[in-house]
A and B are shown apart, each in its own frame.
Chain A
Amino acid sequence: DTEVTQTPKHLVMGMTNKKSLKCEQHMGHRAMYWYKQKAKKPPELMFVYSYEKLSINESVPSRFSPECPNSSLLNLHLHALQPEDSALYLCASSQVDLGLAGINEQFFGPGTRLTVL
């Protein structure tokens, strides 16, 4: 199974709502990522989890709160978002970089299209 799944596919929320995005993989990967992608732009890294611990936070506003409850799941909790946060949110997973030879390619999910009204 080389698939990363994301739910929901689409999400519309108001600026006062609280919602969550979910990501799941069963490839045994211990690194998981959240990216934000605006239209016609490359993905921008938001967070990286390694062995279920947050290892990179790219100075993301606190209205985005990631969570990695186990090695297969990654959540992104959303609260008090702004219209400019509307984007495609992509999840990815890979092997952890252990400094060994071999590729640590990232596998991407289909994304959640988020619209903030």
Chain B
Amino acid sequence: AQSVTQLGSHVSVSEGALVLLRCNYSSSVPPYLFWYVQYPNQGLQLLLKYTTGATLVKGINGFEAEFKKSETSFHLTKPSAHMSDAAEYFCAVSPRPGGGNKLTFGTGTQLKVEL
């Protein structure tokens, strides 16, 4: 069974500061990994994903994440926060091909960006 843990349900940063949102997964086989962002009263938008290959993944809006198998982590970072980054962020995992389409979400991290 797969599971995802997001440390910190709320993260607050100053505008221009580094954003770091933590995600750890538990799976017998390295899964596919995703970060989604959700703005208030909207659906989920895919920020980035990791499947295979390069472990540093770049996504939209200046975000990136690094897959670290030894640490079972997939933390999301952005060098300089912008006010528009304030949103809910979800880390999610899905099985590799053949394992079904089911996404397992973390509990989410609310990012607040302050002036």
Contact residues of A with B, CB < 8 Å? Answer: 4, 6, 31, 33, 40-43, 45, 48, 50, 56, 88, 90, 92, 94, 96-111, 113
The smallest beta-carbon distance between B40 and chain A, in angstroms, is 10
Q: How many residues of B contact A (CB 8 A)?
A: 27
Q: Is the CB of A106 within 8 A of B101?
A: yes
Complexed CA–CA distance, A112 and B105 (Å) = 20
Complexed CA–CA distance, A99 and B101 (Å) = 10
When distances are taken between beta carbons in the complex, the residues of chain A under 8 Å from B36 are 108
Q: Is the CB of B45 within 8 A of A108?
A: yes
**Chain A contact residues: over half helix, strand or loop, or mixed?**
loop
Interface residue from B49, B88, B101 paired with A48 (Cβ < 8 Å): B101
Chain-A contact segment, one of B64-72, B73-81, B90-98: B90-98
When distances are taken between beta carbons in the complex, the residues of chain A under 8 Å from B88 are 40
Given contacts A97-B97, A113-B41, are A106 and B108 in contact (CB under 8 A)? no
Q: Is the CB of A41 within 8 A of B108?
A: yes
Q: Is the CB of B45 within 8 A of A104?
A: no
Closest A residue to B99 by CB, please name it: A97
Q: Is the CB of B49 within 8 A of A100?
A: no
Q: Is the CB of B42 within 8 A of A106?
A: no
The smallest beta-carbon distance between A41 and chain B, in angstroms, is 7
Given contacts A105-B46, A108-B44, are A45 and B97 in contact (CB under 8 A)? no
Q: Is the CB of A104 within 8 A of B102?
A: no
The smallest beta-carbon distance between B25 and chain A, in angstroms, is 14
When distances are taken between beta carbons in the complex, the residues of chain B under 8 Å from A108 are 36, 43-45
When distances are taken between beta carbons in the complex, the residues of chain A under 8 Å from B99 are 97
Complexed CA–CA distance, A4 and B45 (Å) = 11
Complexed CA–CA distance, A41 and B6 (Å) = 12
Given contacts A105-B34, A108-B44, A110-B42, are A42 and B98 in contact (CB under 8 A)? no
Q: Is the CB of A104 within 8 A of B94?
A: yes
Q: Is the CB of A103 within 8 A of B42?
A: no
Q: Is the CB of B43 within 8 A of A111?
A: yes
